[in-house]
A and B are shown apart, each in its own frame.
Chain A
Amino acid sequence: MSFFWTIAALVVLLAVSWRYLGSYMAAVYEGRVAYLGWLERPVYRALGVDPDAEQTWQRYAGALVVFSGVAILVTYVLIRVQGSLPVNPQHLGAVPPALSWNTAVSFVSNTNWQNYAGESTMSYLSQMAALTVQQFVSASVGIAVAIALTRGFSRKGSPTIGNFWVDLVRGVFYILLPIAFVAGLVYVGQGAVQTLAGPATIHNALTGTTQVVPRGPVGFMESIKQLGTNGGGFFNANGSHPFEDPTGVTLFLSFFLLLSIPFSLTYTFGKMVGSLRQGAALLAAMAIIFGVWVGFSSYAESRPNPAVAAAHVVHQPQGNMEGKEVRFGPLPTALYNISSTQTSTGSVAGANDSFTPMGGFGLLTGMALGEVTPGGDGSGLYTILLFALVAVFLGGLMVGRTPEYLGKKIQAKEVKLATFGVLVMPVTVLVLTAIAVSIHAGRAGPANAGPHGFTEILYAFTSQGNNNGSAFAGLSGDSTFYNVTGGIAMLLGRFAVIVPSLALAGVLAAKNVVPAGLGTFKTDTPLFTGLLIGVILILGGLTFFPAVSLGPVVEQLSHGKLF
């Protein structure tokens, strides 16, 4: 019953944020709010940017790619030299090169895949100045691309799609910083630690034992980790660590924060293209798939853990408690982890690896659908728009007419760009998984035997290829093979989708609008939402079904067998 109220409260709050955060974001990117002008203007001056000058898609994409490249370099250098920098109370040394590469790409691409344990690898300065920075910036880059693509639909005959530097700065200043700061205070008030003092050594007089408790600037990293759909926690255990998510209140705040921007961007989209119904059609497709996945995964986690049941020593009235925290329980943990895998966040409130086979299936396939339900900050919207173009193309084929979307004719070039953007991820994931299971360095990774070991590998590349960052963490990913290939998957999953999306933005912005006629396929109706859901499920299903069958499906079906 309390889970029902949790869902109800979440739906109400998300509806409010859809309406108000959505319209606020439209105002931010249309330049209608300016209360932080005093902070913005000096930044533009330092950058040498005229905030009123717009860019073609080529220049927009060029600035974005170069900026991200520099961000990878800066992050890499900072964590390589952390041993010689201050604010390092544990005196941790340099992060090794391959791991630094993986980590730098991971945080810049909004993935936050972590092949390290934060509390024993990263100095406090690295956590703040290298990683937290990218949690803001990478989220803002994602939203900027979504906004640029939205402008492609809302403009007519325009050679430009906005200014990357302005979109980047405004996203950080007006949206991410204020919300993250307020939410950060809530996390700390509930018990998330936030201090620069090193670990606390405490002697327990009752038991005569001594414990070294890790600490750090955690609470304010936690808020942007969720809001920015990043997911990279301060500690190895992520949100299940009591210093990251101390109570049921922070648990709720976490899934609200990580869902709020991706869902609300559909309102922003509708507002900017001048038809809220168009945004609502996308929202409906996202929400329906998301709801189904929450439903069956929560049910799966309310069932017993097969290995625990096989020991025949306890009943499991609450469901699967292995890898879960008592203060959360199985259902809220499932909701958290499903929300975070479907938003490309990747934070966890319990061990994904210990989910029941069907619960794990929900986590894996939620990512394999392409992170559009609702997807990450910005990346969810621009990727579902690619799917929407594929859907209207299919609709056009069925009625034998050149398709249109929002009045723009969708021709061969647009369809090619959208299809490319949609297919990059499955190709990357499946090819890298196939390589990993074929060579020794890849097979050395999994900690679990049998189909679960294969799932750990498939999950790793699906997560990185979708810029999610959650893990079936039994996999030992800190090897040269996994660090290097994972970095490649994250780069392709991010930038090989962003560049075609921006190209589409440019091509579409330059087009004129054709008035809707009798034969126009309406894209603000339940029929279109249904077609879009079909395209997302069929594409994801067809590409991933064989691989998923070998992992969680086999595991679910092996009744009475342990590995």
Chain B
Amino acid sequence: MLAHLRRSFVASIIFLAICGLAYPLAGTGVSHLLFEHQANGSLTADGSTLIGQTWKSPMWFEGRPDGTVLTTGPGGIVVSGTNQPGPRSKALEQAVAKQAAALEKKGIVPTNDLVTTSGSLLDPDISPADAYAQVDAVASARGLPVGAVRRLVAKYIRPKELGFLGADHIDVLELNLGLARLR
């Protein structure tokens, strides 16, 4: 029993050093050598391309309505995944109806993704259909030709990885940065 105890403490220290310090620190070092941009969080001057933001103004393409339920933690940090409505939840039905009404007011025909929240509440993407649904509204808010905005959307579609993994999507931040440059 005493031998077991002594070995258990020694083993805990060894594994802490190897798996808890050496492994993640070596991983961090190599990551920064090979993938500096990704390891730091894929940051641009206006936010991370992987972390969704709220785009309220009709001048911008909007993402999923995650911002309506997103909470923040200590230091204002965004806390993910805190909204969990069940599939027969009255609250979910009401939230969907409310979001659809808000979209229609802006002249956008509601789509599935644009009225439901994501699992992370930080979904950075929308589907191509969600973006096309917003083209008319964005073009008229900005006084841009509809065709130009439609071509912009097509340019920013990220196809499924390797042709079959995941789903086609558009990064909202990238799309809006492109929109800002569109004259």
Contact = CB atoms under 8 A, between A and B. Distances in A.
Interface of A: 1-2, 5-6, 9, 43, 46-49, 62-63, 66-67, 69-71, 74, 90-92, 117, 119-120, 128-130, 132-133, 136-137, 165, 168-169, 172, 177, 180-181, 184-185, 188-197, 199-207, 209, 211-215, 217, 219-221, 235-238, 240-243, 246-249, 251-252, 305-308, 310-311, 313-318, 320-329, 332-333, 348-351, 353-357, 360, 447-450, 452, 472-474, 555, 558, 561-563
A46 B76 contact: no
Nearest to B96: A311
Nearest to A563: B88
Given A74-B12, A200-B48, A249 B162 contact: yes
Interface string B122-151: 111111001000000000000000000000
Given A181-B27, A184-B31, A474-B86, 18 more contacts: A6-B165, A119-B77, A177-B18, A189-B35, A191-B38, A194-B27, A197-B40, A206-B180, A207-B56, A235-B80, A235-B81, A238-B81, A240-B80, A307-B87, A308-B116, A351-B81, A562-B89, A563-B90
Interface string B33-74: 011001111110111101111111100100010000000111
Nearest to A235: B80
Nearest to B82: A236
Nearest to B37: A191
Contacts of A172: 15, 18-19
A164 to B, nearest CB: 9
A214 B166 CA distance: 24
A177 to B, nearest CB: 7
A328 B124 contact: no
A130 B1 CA distance: 24
Contacts of B126: 326
Contacts of B10: 46-48
A90 to B, nearest CB: 6
B41 A47 contact: no
Contacts of A353: 84-86
B161 A236 contact: no
B54 A207 contact: yes
A49 B7 contact: yes
Contacts of A188: 27, 31, 34-35, 38-39
A71 B32 CA distance: 31
B71 to A, nearest CB: 9
Given A235-B81, A248-B160, A311 B93 contact: yes
B100 A314 contact: yes
A471 to B, nearest CB: 9
B4 A6 contact: no
B73 A241 contact: no
Nearest to A39: B18
Given A206-B46, A219-B27, A62 B166 contact: no
26 contacts: A63-B4, A63-B8, A67-B8, A70-B9, A74-B16, A90-B77, A117-B73, A133-B20, A136-B19, A137-B19, A165-B7, A181-B27, A204-B46, A209-B54, A240-B120, A241-B80, A248-B161, A318-B167, A323-B116, A326-B169, A332-B167, A353-B85, A357-B87, A448-B84, A472-B84, A473-B81
B53 A207 contact: yes
Nearest to B177: A206
A70 B12 contact: yes
Given A217-B24, A237-B81, A242-B123, A321 B7 contact: no
Contacts of A130: 20
B86 A219 contact: no
Nearest to B85: A354
A324 B118 CA distance: 5
A407 to B, nearest CB: 33
A132 B120 CA distance: 22
Nearest to A203: B46
A308 B50 contact: no
B-side interface mostly: mixed
A450 B84 CA distance: 15
Contact of A191 (B19, B42, B115): B42
B134 to A, nearest CB: 14
Contacts, number: 395
Interface size, B (range):
35 or more
B23 A327 contact: no
A209 B55 CA distance: 9
Given A217-B24, A242-B51, A242-B124, A189 B34 contact: yes
A354 B84 contact: yes
Given A181-B23, A237-B80, A322 B166 contact: no
B154 interface: no
B24 A128 contact: yes
Nearest to A124: B24
B76 A133 contact: no
A191 B161 CA distance: 14
B39 A194 contact: yes
Contacts of B23: 132, 136, 177, 180-181, 220
B8 A66 contact: yes
B111 to A, nearest CB: 6
B159 to A, nearest CB: 10
User: Which of A6, A353, A563 gathers the greatest number of chain B CB atoms within 10 Å?
Assistant: A353
Contacts of A195: 28, 32, 39-41
